[in-house]
Amino acid sequence: MAGLNKVTVEDINVKGRKVLVRVDFNVPMKDGVITNDNRIQAALPTINKLVENGAKVVLCSHLGKPKNGPEAKFSLAPAAKRLGELVKTNVIFAADDTVVGDNAKKAVAAMKDGEIVVLENTRFRGDEETKNGENFSKELADLIDGEVFVMDAFGSAHRAHASTAGVTKFVKETAVGYLMQKEIQYLGNAVEVPERPFVAILGGAKVADKLNVISNLLEKCDTLIIGGGMAYTFIKAQGGSIGKSLVDEEKLDYCKEMLAKAEKLGKKILLPVDTAVADSFPDPIDAEISVDYVDADKIPADKMGLDIGPKTAAIFAEAAKSAKTVVWNGPMGVFENPTLKKGTVAVCEALAQADATTIIGGGDSATAAIQLGFADKMSHISTGGGASLEYLEGKVLPGVAAIAEK
């Protein structure tokens, strides 16, 4: 896959030069306070490397989804303040609603080597996300005199935005940061040159979200495990009774095709054999709920499946522990609920114990692994939900493609 041999921050000379870095500071906030600074922490190795090597570092990122231009609650000011507490150099926040405005231009002009300027939320500009973002791309490049652009926001690499891909047309040098490098290495190698047996685990609610991933991974992996809400569509496609469980009626034929494809390729698809059922979805999501365990293909008409059962958890865990490479994307049930998180916990535990390269593909499974306390036991937890899914589909990501090859 293209992208495994990109120019990195190790390969460029940045002393005294202005370097624009696209980071992922899209951190969760509540009432103007950052509730989790993981993404800022994850960007530090690249930022520190550039600072130590004497670059003038200009950071840009989006935050949230501002609808009508600038909104105070989506300002990157708190992220800039937090960064200032984590690094040993000056951090200046350029508060321009236009992102590249007088504050930014003055701050960058006055920078000394090894200092940092943080720009305002790139999505305050309507043209960040559009096809005609060329003006914004040029303004970002002009701010650093067209010198160096470093892409280190994997979570945004699947979007062809002005600050992720567009700007690369107007700068002399491009490179990936440490975070991007790690993502490309782990996800790229897992899909292209995995150590076998290679087991892929897919969960989450909808088959529709993972159509191409299922098809692509079937060609690459030895065993495909399917849990979560999407498993019920597969079980129904095989003729099972799934009661009131989530089902993607339009995708039943697709599921049949995938089961046939697996057989033809000599690959294993593992589906749940038992499931936790209740009368309805918990409301609120973490409410107490009483469950029964039944065969996954014999769910009573008035019940819905909400998690894999203990027999399934044991089968899935066994398959994961026998692997040399495991990629996991999507929880096994309603993991936000104490009663319905057991299947996801069992998979997390199996991965933690596996003598394998274990890769968590962002999104809810990353949240689950972190919340359940297994993060440090995994080889790699992806920082990009949508981006890692598209990578597993075999798609070329614009934010990766735009960076120069070695």
380 in a labelled binding site: no
365 in a labelled binding site: yes
385 in a labelled binding site: no
Whole-angstrom Cα distance, residue 315 to residue 312?
5
161 in a labelled binding site: no
Is position 17 annotated as part of the catalytic site?
A: no
- Sheet of 274-278, strands arranged across: 292-295, 274-278, 304-308
Output Rg (C-alpha) for the chain, integer angstroms: 23
39 in a labelled binding site: yes
Distances (CA, A) of 352 to 56, 236, 276: 40, 32, 23
Burial of 87 (0-12, 13-18, 19+ CB in 10 A): middle
Q: Which of 6, 17, 18, 39 is catalytic?
A: 39
Do 226 and 234 form a contact (C-beta atoms < 8 A)? yes
CA atoms within 13 A on the CB side of 399: 32
Place of tokens 């936000």: 336
283 in a labelled binding site: no
64 in a labelled binding site: yes
Is position 84 annotated as part of the catalytic site?
A: no
- For 362, other C-beta atoms within 10 Å of its C-beta total 25
Is position 206 annotated as part of the catalytic site?
A: yes
158 in a labelled binding site: no
| Positive or negative: CA dihedral 296, 298, 303, 304 | positive
26 in a labelled binding site: yes
123 in a labelled binding site: yes
What six digits make up the tokens of 24? Answer: 């992922």
17 in a labelled binding site: no
Q: Which of 188, 243, 386, 394 is catalytic?
A: 386
Is position 386 annotated as part of the catalytic site?
A: yes
Pick from 359, 351, 364: which is nearest to 381 by CA? 359
63 in a labelled binding site: yes
Burial of 261 (0-12, 13-18, 19+ CB in 10 A): middle
Do 381 and 360 form a contact (C-beta atoms < 8 A)? yes
Whole-angstrom Cα distance, residue 104 to residue 119?
7
349 in a labelled binding site: no
61 in a labelled binding site: no
Q: Which of 155, 363, 384, 399 is catalytic?
A: 363
Q: Which of 105, 138, 206, 311 is catalytic?
A: 206
φ/ψ of residue 329, rounded to 5: -140, 115
Please tell me the total number of residues recorded for the chain in this structure. Answer: 406
210 in a labelled binding site: yes
305 in a labelled binding site: yes
209 in a labelled binding site: no
**Residue list for the binding site:** 24-26, 39, 62-65, 123, 159, 210, 305, 336, 362-365
Binding annotation for substrate: 24-26, 39, 62-65, 123, 159
Active site residues: 39, 206, 363, 386
Q: Which residues are annotated as a binding site for ATP?
A: 210, 305, 336, 362-365
Q: Which residues are annotated as a binding site for (2R)-3-phosphoglycerate?
A: 39, 123, 159
